Chain A
Amino acid sequence: DAKTTQPTSMDCAEGRAANLPCNHSTISGNEYVYWYRQIHSQGPQYIIHGLKNNETNEMASLIITEDRKSSTLILPHATLRDTAVYYCIVRALNTGTASKLTFGTGTRLQVTL
């Protein structure tokens, strides 16, 4: 799987949008962009994933650039409960669902009052 680059940490005020960037300049055509987050002392939680189109679900939006070399995860109205480490991962799915995720060190998002 290709590597990703994320800022080590970010702050966001509660109620504001949190925009978490990720660079994946070596992404291959069959690799998806996945986002997970990990709240302290819990297992990672799936947020969203996409291939090339922007995606939105009840948790977040994923914006992928046209060249697919970077993406942004958007939490539209951050709350204190969104404080977590956010992982951006690229993952090939040409072999079906059973392919591993390779985690980096992620971005530590701190949401403040």
Chain B
Amino acid sequence: GAGVSQTPSNKVTEKGKYVELRCDPISGHTALYWYRQSLGQGPEFLIYFQGTGAADDSGLPNDRFFAVRPEGSVSTLKIQRTERGDSAVYLCASSSRLAGHMIFGPGTRLTVL
């Protein structure tokens, strides 16, 4: 497709479990971003990649959160030992050097019971 896609669209898990959230950016976009959004708040930056490397991971809240982008396209956000406070919508975005502006995916709604 032409847009950023994220899977799954919804994920329900239990406290303490491990989850992986996937982002497929627009083909050819070199930069990829992860955000999370709690109810009533604006999106909060987590991490971004330029190519395969994490250029800025200052928004990751703690070491339970990790993200990879091994081939410079698809990215996976990994959350270990999930907590109820991790419940949020996780948004992915990508951008190209030409356009500059970020295009967001629809998000993954994570619910930790």
Contact = CB atoms under 8 A, between A and B. Distances in A.
B42 A46 contact: no
A103 B102 CA distance: 13
A94 to B, nearest CB: 12
Interface in B86-107: 91, 93, 95-97, 99-107
A98 interface: yes
Interface residues of B, number: 30
Contacts of B30: 97-98
Contacts of B113: none
Interface residues of A, number: 20
Interface string A26-48: 00000000100000001111100
Nearest to A34: B101
Contacts of B107: 42-43
Given A97-B31, A97-B96, A98-B50, A43 B42 contact: no
